[in-house]
Structure 1
Amino acid sequence: MMNNKSFFRLVRGEQVEAQYIEQQLEEYKRNPLIEGLPPILNKEEVFNKIINEPAYSNGERLLKENLRIHCILRLTDYVEPLTTHLDLERRISTMIRRGYVGRNPTSINHLKFINNLSDMKKKHDNSPIEEKLLVLEQRNSFASGFSLIGMSGIGKTTAINRILLTYPQVIYHTRYKDEEFYHYQIVWLKLDCPLDGSLKSFCKSFFKEVDNILGTRYFDKFGSNKTSLDTMVIHMVHIASLHTLGALFIDEIQHLSKAKGGPELMLNFFVTLVNTIGVPVVPIGTFKSFSILQTNFRQARRASGYGEIIWDRMKNDDEWNWFISNMWKYQWTKEESVLTDEIREVIYDETLGITDRAIKLYMLVQWRAISSGKEKITIQLIKKVSKEEMRMTKPMVDALRNNDIDKLHKFDDIFLPDIFQALSKVEHDIKLKGDIEKIRFQQKKISENSLMEVLEKIVLWLIDGGIEAQLAEKSAEKAINKLSYKEELSQLKKEAMALALNTNEKTTSLRTKIKNREAKYAKNDLRQMFMDAEKNKVLVYEILLNEGVIKDPMNEFFGEGLIC
């Protein structure tokens, strides 16, 4: 199923051979599933893992229009860490590790549990699936899940994906504590809830995804339409246990509203996964899924042990200002447009803090500015593009702006029910907010220090190459502004030297022109007389005397007939 390479890219995540890390917490020790995970990240490391800055060079402003249009598309991958990202990563980090406590595959209890599941698969009684799985609830499970709820376009899926990719998806164990230990560990699995909301369709998706990452054939064996739902569920539980699934993430959970007979069957199954085999479950959905999750899933103490993250749109505060200021740097119009307070306010008014909408509006505005030939971003252009290019979502934004409750109920994907109004007011944890502002300040200082370090290296290199100090500094600054200080140092040096030499050449040429230029003055102009004397290599005195500008002192005082 796997080759012997220690590392290679899978369809959705990474697959690695286990490298065990000694744990500091007692409950995490002597468990290969936990020791094989990456180190627990601090806030600064989380920030650097999540941030995704598009490639950018100020020199790209000089590219042709068609190329710059493509450059703007890089903004679709832009991710700026927010306080919610830190909260989300912390919960996932804790949830996965706590879920593995009590599921040690080297223990006798785990082997007994797997054997019980195998025996259950062989039984052909007609008892309900819930009764069959109840036998397994005696297991000591430490697993808990949580829910992630937010409006469309707020960044839920992107955030989950960025955090999950800080973990390998599969860890291959071969030896632990000097003993053979062959085991395929699936750290995380992320599936979309089926459009029809059926549990049978969900089981099929599970089999397919496991096959994709392990090269197995579970779908062929258990995913047939002829296979009963109970049989599928038993096999899914067995596979999740066999490969010690760390956490199961189900996106688009609002699709459960379309399930025949209601969402209870699927939700009960998720609760069973948590309670019986210890797999944490994280449903992810829009506000439409509130009414679904607040019944079965939220009432299950263990299933929702980590609570809920209510991800609402951004407020018009410091975090919004930081987000827009960083996004604004990625600008490909020929003329640089400065981000003013007025522009920042207009963007918020047109997007109301919905990050996906803000990024797309910024992209559309740049496209319009470039294609129209005006090459400048203005308040008028932002409003015009928003009105013309984002008409379909305008009613939703207007309802949000005016806090029109009746209209908001029509957009159940964005409406936040009254029962959770209190949660939305405190969604930004003060401590996390302070932490991320501190990290941002540190990141800014690091960037400034890096810039000065690069500038200094280029200047010294130019001076060593014979360039005058003042010119070296100016040329280095121009090169960095043109290419960005993150460009390869060799390229920056090359650009700076070219600029310096070009400046020297122009200066020399100008001096030569000035020197060679023949000024045209009147014949009796003193400046012309001085130039004539220099040209004919005679004394200026003689020229002045011959032109009658000065008198001969001998004749003046002694007369013309004086003979010495």
Structure 2
Amino acid sequence: MLSTSTKLNPAYRTIGVPEIDSNPLIAHLKLPPDTGDDAFLALGMQPQFDASERKLPTAIRRLRVNRLRRFFIPTLPVHRRALIEICSQVFDGYMARNPMTAEGQSILYGGSVNLTYRPTISLVAGLSGMGKSTLVDRILGYLGEQVQCHSGFHGKEFSETQVLWLRRNVPEHCSVGTLCSTFGDYTDRVLRMSLYGGIFDKLKRGGRDAYLAEIRKIITTHHVGLLVLDEFQNLSLMGVGAKKIIALLVNLRDELGLPIVVVGTYKALRLLEGDLSIARRLVEGGYFDLERPTTSDDSNWQELCEITWQYQWIREPIEYSSDIGDALFEVSQGITGIMLNVFVASQLAAMEDGGHERVDADLIRHVFKERMKPLHQAVRILKSGDPRLLDKFDDIYNNLYPTQSRNDNSSDPNVESDSTKIQVRDDAIADLNPSVEQPIKVRRKNTKHPKTSPALSEDQIKKLVTSDSMLDLISILDNL
């Protein structure tokens, strides 16, 4: 049974738009943000902080610094655009599936969706360190509680359980059957019921149509509004098998009107190379590229660092300056996860000093040099700009600090774990220069992204970009 803590009957609103007010699947949802500033406030997540906490005993302040584990500042325009567009897609998808209409009831019993629009597949891309998965977490959080239990709507009985989204990681070397099976097990965990677990094992010889029928049953029965596939780059390991899974996604989109978001590193872009049809399908709902800055002068980078700098639990904080932003960029090369890790470690080092508790540019560089040695190789690769090495950045970063699965894939017997450690030979980089839940209420600057003049090609620049999840940061902090 569903948890007794699950709230029955969501709070429906009337906004004067008939196609929304008459649909119980979206009448309770928050509308997409009106503006980029609204989206900024909706996405932002800052740690609890009070300057008076700097007077607390050191043991307590060390714990306070760990609040930075939950921290997200959507300084990139693409962050805000992703929230607005993906939320809009969820509304569009539900409008054609209103269960209070004859058409909506027909869908529940196997009928086709009468689409007046084309549902979309969106791609969120980047390399480890820039917050892809955290961005998706915040977007899903904005939509509302994952499970909504309805009992009645506008005086009519409506006893239905709605699952706003289903989110899974793509297992390495998976098949269509394996991927579908993970959705069955995951749905059972979300609903806290035993309905679909193991059912896909009986379909091993049923083919794609049989798998599609079962996934369709889950999506229609529980009014799923969004499908999210993370670690999408794992499909690049599958050769022709990747096309079968992409075909499955396209079928779900076309037959059920279900918007889909795929999330992955730049290796996922290899699936687009040489196949215009696949490329078009994977980006028609939006391509959200979380690019890392290529210089410390980047206005978005300076804004991020300045906001982050407010959260200091040391006794003698100094004012933010561009030198601080330069130092943080030098040791992280624009990777948000690394920057936060170094910032936390620098505060802890200042507390341990026993003298002046002050974090400045020199301490930041010193802490990175002495305490972050496992990250030196990854940062040197980013600093080099060598495309041959940049292609290995994700493997090195994630092998150092494995990402904890948001979907409990570690307990899923269908998911294979890769223990292979990919290494870059020391002699390949020897000649490189070594590297020495409250809404945010911040006044944002109206700044523009400065233009840069890179010497690399456009494809090489794409490979330079890197992104990461907040759970990577948590894993790093746990090992401090």
**With structure 1 as the length reference, what TM-score do the two structures score?**
0.64
Give the structure 1 partner of residue 135 of structure 2. Answer: 159
TM-aligned CA deviation for residue 307 of structure 1: 2.4
Which residue does 1:329 correspond to in 2?
A: 310
Larger Cα-atom Rg: 1
Alpha-carbon distance change, 151 to 80 in structure 1, aligned in 2, over 3 angstroms: same
- Shift of the 292–218 alpha-carbon distance from structure 1 to 2, 3 Å rule, reads farther
The SS at the match of 1:32 is coil
Task: Looking at secondary structure, tell me which structure has more helix per residue.
Answer: 1
**Residues 110 and 60 of structure 1: is their aligned pair in 2 closer, same or farther, counting only changes over 3 Å?**
closer
Pick the aligned partner of 1:116 from 106, 110, 113.
110
* Cα 1:267/1:108, change in 2 over 3 Å: same
**What SS class does the counterpart of residue 394 from structure 1 fall into?**
helix
- The correspondence for 1:147, drawn from 123, 126, 131, is 123
1:255-280 superposed Cα distances (whole Å, 9 cap, x missing partner): 22333753112111111110111111
- Matching of residue 102 in structure 1 with residue 96 in structure 2: yes
Tell me, what secondary structure is at the counterpart of 1:54?
coil
CA distance in 1, matches of 2:444, 2:279: 38
What is the Cα deviation at residue 62 of structure 1?
2.9
Contact 1:298 1:304 in 2 (8 A): no
Residue 25 of structure 1 deviates from its aligned partner by 4.4
Aligned twin of 1:246: 225
CA distance 1:410–1:155, shift in 2 (3 Å): closer
**Cα gap change, 1:383/1:183 in structure 2, threshold over 3 Å: closer, same or farther?**
same
The correspondence of residues 209-228 of structure 1 with structure 2, limited to 5 A, is 209-220=186-197, 222-224=199-201, 227-228=204-205
For residue 440 of structure 1, report the CA deviation from its aligned partner: 2.3
Partner of 1:535: none
1:233–1:296 Cα change, 3 Å: farther
| Aligned counterpart, 1:388 | 370
**Structure with the greater relative contact order (CA < 8 A, sep ≥ 6): 1 or 2?**
2
Name which of 356, 365, 380 aligns with 1:398: 380
Please list, as runs of the form range in 1=range in 2, the aligned pairs for 1:491-530 lying within 5 A after superposition: none
Question: How big is the shift at 1:353?
Answer: 1.7
Tell me the TM-score normalised to structure 2 length. Answer: 0.74
Q: 1:131 corresponds to which residue? A: none
Residue identity opposite 2:444 in structure 1:
R
Amino acid at match of 2:100: T
Match of 2:10 among 9, 13, 18: 18
User: What is the match of residue 444 of structure 2?
Assistant: 440
Q: Following TM superposition, by how much is the alpha carbon of 1:321 offset from its aligned partner in structure 2, in angstroms?
A: 1.8
Equivalent residue of 2:391, what SS? Answer: helix
Q: Retained in 2: the 8 A contact 1:150–1:156?
A: yes
How far off is 1:377 after superposition? 1.8
What is the count of residue pairs matched by the alignment?
A: 396
Q: Distance in 2 between matches of 1:93 and 1:291?
A: 27
Report the counterpart of residue 402 of structure 2 in structure 1: none
Q: Displacement, 1:236?
A: 1.4
Match of 2:334 in 1: 353
Cα displacement string for residues 44-88 of structure 1 (whole angstroms, at most 9, x for unaligned residues): 443333222212232332333332222211111111122222111
Counterpart position of 2:62: 69
User: Partner letter of residue 80 of structure 1?
Assistant: I
Q: Which amino acid aligns with 2:234?
A: H
Establish whether residue 312 from structure 1 lines up as the match of residue 294 from structure 2: no
Residue 24 of structure 2: aligned partner: 32
113 and 33 in structure 1: CA distance in 2 versus 1, 3 angstrom threshold: same
CA shift digits 1:211-245 (9 cap, x unpaired): 12223322345143675463443211111112121
Cα distance 1:402–1:91, how it changes in 2: closer, same or farther (>3 A)? same
Give the corresponding residue for 2:422. none
Whole-angstrom distance in 2 between the partners of 1:46 and 1:224: 42
**Contact 1:151–1:414, Cα closer than 8 Å, also in 2:** no
> Alignment identity in percent?
26
Moved more, 287-296 or 359-368: 287-296
Using the alignment, how far apart are the partners of 2:89 and 2:443 within structure 1?
Answer: 24
2:265 paired residue number? 286
d(CA) in 2 for partners of 1:378 and 1:84?
A: 31
Deviations for 1:77-124, whole angstroms, at most 9, x for unmatched residues? 11112222211110111110111122121222333333337xxxxxxx
Q: Which one-letter code corresponds to 2:98 in the other structure?
A: N
Q: 1:220 to 1:411 in 2, by over 3 A?
A: closer
Q: 2:154 maps to what in 1?
A: 177
SS at 1:245 equivalent: coil
